[in-house]
Structure 1
């Protein structure tokens, strides 16, 4: 994770958590998860304050949340004390067992990585899946050059191929769209991958 981005999330965790709670729910994403995810162990990578992890549990998925920011994890644990949250960082995601998850959710996280780390991050996300498992991956689209917002969070500009090339071997793309997010109002690229059966 980009250090300035992590610092922003840690220092302003309560404010970000409040903003996410007050946003409209990402109903368009939730509809896709209902359509493409299957029952089973599910991990929300970059869970932030835990809103989407809680939704997964409420909708029948055996879900845990993972984030690199201790501040956001503290917010998530306070809001959802019955849910398991743990700390890990892309691209390595140390501590998460490969080949163990039916579903992986990674919503608007990878744009906070240096572009040089994105392919490795996607490979790790795919490695978490069981054969036949599903990865939902999205990112905020930044045109031309990478930039930072007023809090210092990195929004990397990168080609779609950085995401799809690592997935070409073990996965098929089963859904793709470039859309304005119903929750954030920002341009978002969404891809859903299905890991090939062994």
Structure 2
């Protein structure tokens, strides 16, 4: 395969970006898990969407939490009776998840190369995880999600709305190096459809009192 120098340079840059995200989340993993372990208790709309996803998931079908962090969403899904697999880039987050939620299976892996077999999952969620990808990486992430889902499997995606990039070099008193990219729902819907999904639901909401002051979007898409 011919690799152009520009392509190789871009791949090197992406690997460096992902490494910075990984190290940043490793650094805050314990505090992140402690602070956010019960965040769904205060998010009724999120719980309703997750419930709707489960109601449309084939019985006993495994559910993937892509970019699961310390696994609190995967654990909530498991508490509703789902068999869940959490996948995260950060080894620190995966370790926190395994320690706190033994009922969930955890795997370390990248959204662009998911550690999963073709058609392994009946449905999947990706909540505030694509915000760490570069614009040119989104289609690859959605193509990977399509690969690991079964035909007619659902994918629930959530992200901050907008066009800005917020950079953090300090997070809860820890030194980090991570970007949070705000995204256009219409563009995300286009990319999902390009990857082979049909978008069935779009929802927007403002932030809850305990959240960062951003507007959030949710898309529910079905694999073709």
Q: 2:68 aligns with which of 25, 29, 47?
A: 47
Match of 1:8 in 2: 24
Match of 2:50 in 1: 33
Q: 2:222 aligned with 1:194, yes or no? A: yes
SS in structure 1 at match of 2:192: coil
Cα shift at 1:163: 2.3
Q: 2:173 aligned with 1:148, yes or no? A: no
**TM-score, normalised by the number of residues in structure 2:** 0.78
Query: Larger RCO: Structure 1 or Structure 2 (Cα < 8 Å, ≥ 6 residues apart)?
Result: 1
Q: Is the 8 A contact 1:126 1:167 kept in 2?
A: no
Match of 2:14 in 1: none
Cα shift at 1:135: 0.3
CA distance in 2, matches of 1:113, 1:84: 24
In structure 2, do the counterparts of structure 1 residues 136 and 147 end up closer, same or farther at CA, with 3 Å as the change threshold?
A: same
Query: How far does the alpha carbon of each residue in 1:30-80 deviate from its partner, in whole angstroms, 9 at most, with x for none?
Result: 211212332311111111111111111111211111111011111111111
SS in structure 2 at match of 1:165: helix
In structure 2, do the counterparts of structure 1 residues 167 and 177 end up closer, same or farther at CA, with 3 Å as the change threshold?
A: same
Structure 2 unmatched runs, 5+:
1-16, 172-176
Match of 1:88 in 2: 109
Structure 1 unmatched runs, 5+:
none
Which is worse superposed, 149-158 or 125-134? 149-158
Cα shift at 1:181: 4.3
Deviating 4+ runs (over 6 angstroms): none
Match of 1:113 in 2: 133
**TM-score, normalised by the number of residues in structure 1:** 0.88
SS in structure 2 at match of 1:176: strand
Q: 2:205 aligned with 1:184, yes or no? A: no
Q: 2:105 aligned with 1:77, yes or no? A: no
In structure 2, do the counterparts of structure 1 residues 22 and 118 end up closer, same or farther at CA, with 3 Å as the change threshold?
A: same
CA distance in 1, matches of 2:223, 2:99: 34
Which is worse superposed, 152-161 or 96-105? 152-161
CA distance in 1, matches of 2:200, 2:219: 8
Cα shift at 1:118: 1.2
| RMSD of equivalent CA atoms | 2.0
Cα shift at 1:162: 4.4
SS in structure 2 at match of 1:19: helix
